[in-house]
Amino acid sequence: MEKVLIAGASGALGIEVLKKLHHLGIPARALVHSEQGFEKVEPYTHDIFFADARDPHAMEGVCKDMQVVFSALGKSVSLFKPRLNSYREIDYEGNRNLLHQALRSGVKRFVYTSIMGSGSAHHLSIAKEHQRIQHLLEQSPVQYTIIKPVGFFSGLHDLLIMAKRGIIPIPGSGHFRTNSIHPTDLAQVAVDHLFEGPKVMDVGGPKIESRNEMARTIQAKTNARIIHISPRLMQAGLVPFGLFKKGFAANLDYFRYVTTHDMIAPCYGKITFKEYVEQLDLNQLP
């Protein structure tokens, strides 16, 4: 049976792909770079490769005996986990090192998680770095599928965390619409395209909603107050949340962009944002 390497296996999307492969009995190797990551993947595979993807030497052999690579490796988009590293280091250099190893080991297919709009939102560093990996894949001999999703429900945890503190900040009018997706629904799309698929596909969730409608769903759960803030003054508006760490600006640019543009992709999956929020245990969020 073909073996699959999952990069970013401890992340919101990667862990869901790993769980599905475990359930299907498809052998999977998980790439992790931290003890916490190791503990998350351990219940689903014993084939665990420990390396920082930024380090080309540490990555040597990561794809040995693998036929397919699935990458959900990237810097977190959360405002609450900005980390010190950049999208260039993780999304580009980490995935470039991974692709290099895949080619050296004769991997047949590479399924890559990018972001919807990566080809047009050139001013966003996350979009730019994902697009650089797309160019590398286009020039490589490997078969590939690039999945370009809208935002994940897990990416909206930031709003829920702020709602726990009493406020749901919505940049601008809140009229822009999206069809965000549950990571497990997106993982199903990834698993369905692991062995064949189009070169590029946009993926969204089952229901198109405005940012205001999503804010009202969060309000029903938390009783927080919805406030509209000017996109240009967002940084100042978020001061009370103490978010100003290095690495924050790039994540704020992403948040501002996705909330002030329509982000609508072909619909996949079943779980709506309302269903997701209703079952969420707020105590699990900081």
Ligand X SMILES: NC(=O)c1ccc[n+]([C@@H]2O[C@H](COP(=O)([O-])OP(=O)(O)OC[C@H]3O[C@@H](n4cnc5c(N)ncnc54)[C@H](OP(=O)(O)O)[C@@H]3O)[C@@H](O)[C@H]2O)c1
Interface with ligand X includes 155 (CB under 6 A)? yes
Question: What six digits make up the tokens of 269?
Answer: 């999956």
C-alpha neighbours within 13 Å on the C-beta side of residue 132: 17
Min separation Cβ 4 and ligand X, Å = 15
Dihedrals phi, psi of 82, to nearest 5 degrees: -65, -25
Q: Which two tokens stand for residue 74?
A: 């990237």
Three-class HEC string of 87-129? HHHHHHHHHHHHHHHHHHCCCCEEEEECCCCCCCCCCCHHHHH
Stretch that binds ligand X, among 5-13, 193-201, 237-245, 261-269 (CB under 6 A): 5-13
With CB under 6 A, what is the number of residues at the site for ligand X? 30
Contacts to ligand X from residues 27-46, by CB under 6 A = 33-34, 36-37
Question: Which range touches ligand X (CB under 6 A), out of 147-155, 160-168, 214-222, 278-286?
Answer: 147-155
Report the candidate in 152, 230, 231, 137 with the shortest Cα–Cα distance to residue 190. 152
Smallest gap from Cβ 118 to ligand X, in A, equals 9
What residues pair up with 193 in beta bridges, in sequence order? none
Q: Min. distance of Cβ 223 from ligand X in angstroms?
A: 25
Beta pairing, strands 177-178 & 68-71: unpaired
Q: Which stretch binds ligand X (CB under 6 A): 21-29, 70-78, 167-175, 227-235?
A: 70-78
Does 151 engage in binding with ligand X (CB under 6 A)?
A: yes
Q: How far is the CB of 193 from ligand X (least distance, A)?
A: 15
The Cα 49–Cα 29 span in angstroms is 7
Q: Is 204 in the site for ligand X (CB under 6 A)?
A: no
Q: Which is nearer to ligand X, 9 or 167 (CB)?
A: 9
Looking at the DSSP bridge assignments, the partners of residue 144 are 110
State in angstroms the smallest separation of the CB of 155 from ligand X. 3
- Cα three-residue angle 29-83-62, rounded to 5 degrees: 20
Q: Least distance from C-beta 194 to ligand X, angstroms?
A: 16
Which residues would be at the binding site for ligand X (CB under 6 A)? 8-14, 33-34, 36-37, 52-54, 72-74, 76-77, 90-91, 94, 113, 115, 126, 149, 151-152, 154-155
